[in-house]
Each structure stands twice: as C-alpha cells, then as structure tokens.
Amino acid sequence: MSTGTKKKRKSTLPMVSDHRNQATPPDTEMEPQRPARETTDAAQSFHSQIVLDDKYRLMNEVGRGAMGVVFLAEDMPLERKVAVKFLLPSLATSPDYAKRFNHEAVAMAAIQNHNVAQIFSFGQYGNIPYFVMEFLEGVTVEHLIDAHNRRGSYISVAEAIEILIQSLSGLSAIHRAQAVHRDIKPGNIILTHDPIRVVITDFGLVRRVQIQSDTRALAGTPAYIAPEIASGEPGASESLLTDIYSMGVTAYELLTGVMPFVGETWKEILQMHIEDEAIPPAVRRPAIPAELDRIITKAMQKSPEDRYGSCGEFIKDLIDVQRQRFSEEPRRFSPFRSDIPTIGLPRKDSNEASDDRAFRATDTWGDDQLVIAEADTAFSAAIEKSAKRLLPNCQIHIAADGNQALALVERLQPRLLILNLSLPELSGFEVAAILRGESESNQLAIAMIVEAATSSDTGFLRGMGITDFLERVDGKSLDSALRPILEGAFKSS
C-alpha cells in the first residue's frame, strides 16, 4: 500500500523510518523489522582494550547495521580519532561476505575525493575483517530530513540541490574508479561540521535474501533499491545506473520528506519499485520547480537506459536549475543555505562610523529576549555575564542542547540567538537550518560560536545569512567581541 499525497508534513512517520534505516539482513524474510543485535558473546568480541595493528585503540561503538559494526577509535601515533568498521562476527565465517567486505575497503581506499570517506588501513582481527576510516563528525542527511519532519518544515530547495550536487560529485569519483556503491541513501550521506562537506560512506554488500520461496542476491536497502536489482536481473548490482536510481530516490526524500514507496513488507516495497510510478515530487511539494521535478523523475526511471547515463549529466541539470533559480546566491557550498530571506538585521559596513551612544539600555528594547545555546556552562555563563553588562534590561535564557534552543526560540521569539556549532541532541547547523525554514524566524539574528573567526566554517555559514561569529575569549575581550553582535541585533534604528 503506497502512501498518498501529503498536505502538511509534521513529525516523523514510523513506517518510513523503519523501512529506510536498515539494509536487509541476510537470509531472512523481508519484513520491516530492525535486525536483531548480536548475541552477548559476539557483542563482547570488541572492547576498549583492543589495539589493532599496534596503533588503533578501540574506544566505543558508534553504529551498527545489518552487516557491520562501527567503533570510534584512537589513532595513537597520530593522536587523532578514526572509525573502525568490522564485519559482524556472525557473518565473518562466510568466505563470501568476508571477501566482499574486503572488496569494499579496497574500493573505497582507491578513491581520493573530498566527498567520499577516506580509508586509512584494513586488516583482520582474529577471523573478523575490518577497515579503518576517517571519523566523520556531523549528521546524516537522514537525520537532517527527520529534524525538518519533526518541525513540520521542508529542507529548502537551494540547500537540497547543493547537497545533491556534492553527493553526486562523490558518487562520480566512485564510478570513475569502476566501483558501484550499491547502497546510496540518506543514512549513508554525512554532513560534516568541521569543515563543512557532504561525504558518502558505507559501500553496500551484495547479500542473499529470502522472499517467500525466491532467494535472490540483493545489494542495497530495499527502500532505495533499483527495479532491476529488486527483480533479480543478472548482473544488475554491477551497473553504475543502479546508483543513479538510488540517488534519485534520495533526492525525492530530501525534497519531499517522504520516500516514494512505503509498504507493509519488504516484498511489497520491492514490487512497488518494479511496477509502480511514484507520486511526482511537485505534487507532494508544489514549491519544487518543474525542471527539478523532471530531473528527479528521470533519475528514478524504471528502465536504466531512460535514466541519466552518468553522475555528470545529473549534476549538469541540477546546476542549470541552481543557476536559473538561485543565481543571486553566493556560489559556494553551504549544506544549510536557504532560499528564504536572510536571517538577521542589516549590519553597518565595517568602514561606517560606530555610534556607541545609541547602544544603551532604553525602554525601546528593554524587554527583548536573548537566547544562548551553549553546552559549556562556564562559557555560557561568561556570555550571559558580558551580555548583562552591555544590555542590563535584556532577558537572557540559556539552552544546553539544540532541542532546548528550538523550544526557547519558538516560545520567546527572541531578537538574537547565540549558537554553538556542536550542540548535543541537535547540532547548531541543524538548529539554524530548521529556523531558516520557518518564516516567523526571518527576523531572528543568529551569531555562531566558533573556535576562530577565520575557520573554514565561517565562509559557508555566511551563505546561510550568518555573518556574526563569536570566538571563545573571556573578560574584556569577550565584551569587545560581543558588543558589535548585540549592536546589530538590538540597536534601534
């Protein structure tokens, strides 16, 4: 049973979330259930005392899927964080799965691209293969979609196009290496925080699945799988065009917030990919430009020869839409840039004379609100103390995580939000992106707390209308840094 057109999006859909998050476990009936965790003995196969190759010390588990488990680890010689992905112990005894797992490591290691996760090393712990890759601190595109769903908002069209272009750039590098990803989906595309970039990770493994009496070799997650793979066509999983289809489904969800096909069982979903036509993206979300609707529909064609023949062709059409629709925006990448009016009030040019006398406690803004979203209690207290010196009558509120920050902004409608990039629950990037999608937040000024005002983050943040940056300083230096930010947000015209 496929989903119908949605009038107003709000909160996440349990069926959608359950179907998209998990790849199909091997040798199981295709039901929309999360795979069972490993047994206690298997789960204890990895622990923090393990040091791999005399240099990678395991720290804690950070992710687990149907095929593998990922640990945060320390690269001791280089004093950096890395991620270590193991094939699940229950699958490591299969020569076929072990061979394919190692093939994934070799394929990824051969690709040097800004938009593809970098592999540092691979080996074997006992009989369990693993590979070491860069640790990506950020959020998945799936997480970003869910964050907007919870707020009943859409990711902006301009932002979605940027994410897709960067994702396709990484996928193009994979294809140039004559490799097929096999599991393109929002959960395998990560938006990193520092620096900001879109990164493809987790190549898919071909796995055997039981669909009633029919056993098939299946690559990918059923919610995003190409029709030719779903129907079991020989050699389909080796075709680059299956990744194009999966990217089309990802684009559909990125822009509409829902997957094109949702059913009660994996079998039903696969059958929809083979037989059903998706509801056009622009029907679900009328604001989607007609040309962009055509692009997504082309990428999702049932017949491979009717799709884009390469990532380059896909990218070219997206760039054409970007130029036609958003040519006035900065031509630089920001995964959280929006197509609504810029947040924040107009600021003076740096060479314009400053009028300190106009910045004083008056009844004009005495009841205004300021929200500080910072998990470091010492620094949030320092900002609060400095702000009180500069704005004695302003009401100041503290949020310790992203969810609290959104709740305070929604309830108080403050004039200014001072926001840390790395908040728990929802990151500062996610909070800013969500607020950019809400028209009632257009007049909210946002200042971002950064380690250095010249960091690589700031250029991208300016693209979403954030022009104020607060470095981690204290005392009089904090007063000096905070003053122009408060002036821009609170000073009466």
Over 50: is that where the pLDDT of 102 sits? yes
Q: For residue 126, what pLDDT band results from cuts at 50, 70 and 90?
A: confident
Other CB atoms within 10 A of residue 316 CB: 13
Over 60: is that where the pLDDT of 232 sits? yes
Range 285-296 average pLDDT: 96
Q: For residue 437, what pLDDT band results from cuts at 50, 70 and 90?
A: low
Q: For residue 455, what pLDDT band results from cuts at 50, 70 and 90?
A: low
Better-scored residue on pLDDT, 104 or 277: 277
**Distance separating alpha carbons of residues 323 and 318, to the nearest angstrom:** 9
Calculate helix-pair angle for 141-151, 241-256, nearest 10 degrees. Answer: 20
Say whether pTM exceeds 0.75: no
Can you list the domains of the chain with their CATH numbers?
Answer: 14-28+137-326 (1.10.510.10), 40-134 (3.30.200.20), 356-490 (3.40.50.2300)
Q: For residue 373, what pLDDT band results from cuts at 50, 70 and 90?
A: very high
Lowest mean pLDDT among 101-110, 132-141, 421-430, 431-440: 431-440
| Beta-bridge mates of residue 83 | 72, 133
Mean pLDDT of the chain, nearest integer: 76
Over 80: is that where the pLDDT of 131 sits? yes
Output the pLDDT for position 433: 76
Better-scored residue on pLDDT, 431 or 318: 318
CB 296 within 8 A of CB 251: yes
Q: Which residue's entry shows tokens 């509120």?
A: 397
Range 173-202 average pLDDT: 85
Question: Which positions are annotated as active-site residues?
Answer: 183
Output the pLDDT for position 189: 94
Range 24-39 average pLDDT: 38
Over 50: is that where the pLDDT of 43 sits? no
For 257, residues 6+ apart whose C-beta sits below 8 A from its C-beta are: 6, 9, 145, 148, 149, 154, 155, 285
Render pLDDT for 313-371 as a digit per residue (tens, 0 to 9): 999 999 999 888 875 443 333 333 333 222 222 222 223 233 332 233 333 333 478 99
| Beta-bridge mates of residue 155 | none
Output the pLDDT for position 422: 83
Range 23-29 average pLDDT: 42
Burial environment of residue 480 by CB neighbours within 10 A (0 to 12, 13 to 18, 19 or more): exposed
**86, 154, 158, 283 from 287: Cα distances, Å:** 43, 10, 12, 9
Output the pLDDT for position 206: 40
Lowest mean pLDDT among 241-250, 257-266, 280-289, 319-328: 319-328
Output the pLDDT for position 435: 78
Over 80: is that where the pLDDT of 203 sits? no
Top mean pLDDT of 48-52, 158-162, 287-291, 346-350 is at 287-291
Lowest mean pLDDT among 43-52, 192-201, 415-424: 43-52
Do β-strands 445-450 and 395-399 pair in parallel, antiparallel, or remain unpaired?
unpaired
Over 90: is that where the pLDDT of 372 sits? yes
Output the pLDDT for position 220: 59
Cα–chain-centroid distance for residue 103?
26
Top mean pLDDT of 48-52, 281-285, 481-485 is at 281-285
Over 70: is that where the pLDDT of 165 sits? yes
CB 245 within 8 A of CB 227: yes
Over 80: is that where the pLDDT of 259 sits? yes
Nearest to 392 by CA among 425, 416, 367, 420: 367
